[in-house]
Amino acid sequence: MGSEITRRKIIQQGAFALTALPFPLTSITKLNLMAENKNFDVIIIGGSYAGLSAAMALGRSLRNVLIIDSGLPCNKQTPHSHNFITQDGEQPAAIAQKAKAQVLQYDTVKFHSDLAVSGKKTESGFEITTQSGDNFRADKLVFATGVKDTMPDIKGFAECWGISVIHCPYCHGYEFKSRKTGIMANGERAFHLASLVNNLTDKITILTSGKADFNTEQGAKLHQHNIRIVETKVSEIEHRNGHIKNVVFDNGSKIDFDAVYAGIPFVQHSDIPVALGCELTEQGHLKTDMLQKTTVRGIFACGDNSSMMRSVAYAVATGNIAGSMVNKELVEERF
């Protein structure tokens, strides 16, 4: 009788301790599993749209997959996602959360919240080390790490990025149709954006922040469509909660806009692929073929890190291709 009372107390105390933990019991199981399992068929670095799409294709083929994700998507402050059928107008985070929940229903797929900091080739594949010091091994790698935009030194720019300072007419243009729009770029990039945006609004001003760089034919086209060019340097973007009020110039003058397109540089969000020998394109993307294979055997890439087509729909599509092709490669090697 005494031993039974003691047993009940232990159970009660254990249950109380578990309810006090900051994560559910299922998380304890996952943590224990992560501690035991360090070897996978595939490691996917990046757990947003492209990475989750690749994981679903692999999970449905019963591949043991680890997704490592740092939780820092480049569109984290974009309020709505567009041009993705069935999800048009949805919050980007909501799409990712729903995708993650669906992917993790496949028992062979595991998710690890951490930052992958280095990688190396091994005799059998690859090894990835995370910021917390964990080491994981896999036969194949998929990089769905995206890119990191390099913000210009313009006050207010970063706060508006993805909200009213935007990069893509297909992703954001419809919401600003017929509105007063700026294009913060020069040369070929500015001309290309102007030609696309002109179909959405006739209120366009190009902000070159220096001498305009257009050839005679381009200049004539811009003039034909009443597209104004301002060469004065931009110094600030006045806004309210990321929504533009005015663009302020060095000379103190201002122009009010509803939206501004900006062509800004980027860098790879992760330097691990290049460290492993993956080549970059002239534009700075990871070089891949039509099957999402990089220039290093066994390493694949998908999403923004490997294409100028920065959209949720494209990320999902290339992730699906990458996952399927990784599985195909594993089949060919093991069958």
Residue ending a domain, among 262, 292, 320, is: 262
pLDDT digits (tens, 9 = 90+) for 104-154: 999 999 999 999 999 999 999 999 999 999 999 999 999 999 999 999 999
Residue 123 three-state SS: coil
| Mean pLDDT of all residues belonging to the chain | 89
Q: Indicate whether 16 belongs to any domain.
A: no
| H or E segment and range at residue 171 | helix 169-172
In a domain, 134, yes or no: yes
283-296 mean pLDDT: 97
Using CA atoms in the order 111, 112, 113, 119, what is the torsion angle rounded to 10 degrees? -130
10: pLDDT confidence band, cut at 50, 70 and 90?
A: very low
> What phi, psi does 34 have (nearest 5°)?
-60, -35
In a domain, 24, yes or no: no
Q: Is residue 170 part of a domain?
A: yes
Q: What is the pLDDT of residue 103?
A: 97
Q: Give the whole-angstrom CA distance, residue 319 versus residue 51.
A: 6
Residue 207: per-residue pLDDT: 98
Q: Is residue 88 pLDDT above 90, yes or no?
A: no
Nearest alpha carbon to residue 43 among 131, 147, 130:
130
43 and 144 belong to one structural domain: yes
CATH of the domain at 303: 3.50.50.60
| Single pTM value for the model | 0.85
Range of the structural domain that residue 131 is part of: 37-149+266-334
DSSP 14: H
Q: Give the pLDDT mean for 160-188.
A: 94
pLDDT given for residue 273 in this prediction: 98
Q: Choose one of 246, 262, 278: the last residue of a domain.
A: 262
Verify that 221 and 272 share a domain, yes or no. no
For residues 63 and 107, state if they share a domain. Answer: yes
Query: Is residue 161 located within the same domain as residue 198?
Result: yes
Cα gap 28→298, rounded to integer Å: 32
Residues 143, 180 within the same domain = no
Instruction: Report the domain count for the chain.
Output: 2
Q: Are residues 130 and 208 in the same domain?
A: no
Residue 84: pLDDT band by 50, 70, 90 thresholds? Answer: confident
Q: Is residue 7 part of a domain?
A: no
Question: DSSP letter string over 273-291?
Answer: HHHTT--B-TTSPBP--TT
Contact predicate 315/303, CB 8 Å: yes
Domain boundary among 212, 243, 262: 262
| pLDDT 10s digits, 181-223 | 999 999 999 999 999 999 999 999 999 999 999 999 999 999 9
Assigned token pair, 152: 């210009």
Same domain (yes/no): 248, 272: no
In the predicted structure, residue 71 carries a pLDDT above the cut 60:
yes
Residue 103 maps to a domain: yes
**76 has a pLDDT exceeding 90:** no
pLDDT at 316 over 80: yes
Number of CB atoms found within 10 A of residue 226's CB:
10
Dihedral Cα 277, 287, 303, 64, nearest 10 deg? -50
Q: What's the pLDDT score for residue 35? A: 46
Quick one: pLDDT at residue 110? 97
233 within some domain: yes
Are 243 and 294 part of one and the same domain? no
Q: With beta carbons less than 8 A apart as the criterion, state whether 23 and 34 touch.
A: no
Retrieve residue 260's tokens.
């501004």
